[in-house]
Amino acid sequence: MPKLKTKSSLKLRFRTTASGKIKCQQAHHNHFMRRRSKRSLNQATKAQFLEKGDANLITMLMPYGLK
């Protein structure tokens, strides 16, 4: 049986933690930041964890996990 390939875009966007959660960065933090409040910009710098339903979709696309 051939090896399964990990989706290449997921390698850049997601990481798995030691407990198995999937960690990602908050969106909307690249441009148009002048018009946003300082509070929302500060919250967007923190890492975010995916919900269970979204995490299941991501784990199907990365069969061997990401470190």
Q: Rounded to an integer, what distance in angstroms lies between the CA atom of residue 66 and that of residue 12?
A: 10
The verdict on residue 12 lying in a domain is yes
The verdict on residue 3 lying in a domain is no
For 5-51, write each residue's pLDDT tens digit. Answer: 888 998 889 999 999 899 999 888 888 888 999 998 888 888 999 99
The verdict on residue 49 lying in a domain is yes
Instruction: Report pLDDT for 1.
Output: 81
Q: Rounded to an integer, what distance in angstroms lies between the CA atom of residue 19 and that of residue 45?
A: 22
The verdict on residue 23 lying in a domain is yes
Domain count within the chain: 1
Whole domain around residue 52: which residue ranges? 8-61
Contact status, residue 60 vs residue 5, Cβ threshold 8 Å: no
- Encoded tokens for 7: 């989706």
- 47: closest CA among 19, 62, 27? 27
- Residue 22 belongs to a domain with what CATH number? 4.10.410.60
In sequence order, what are the beta bridge partners of 49? 23
Contact status, residue 61 vs residue 6, Cβ threshold 8 Å: yes
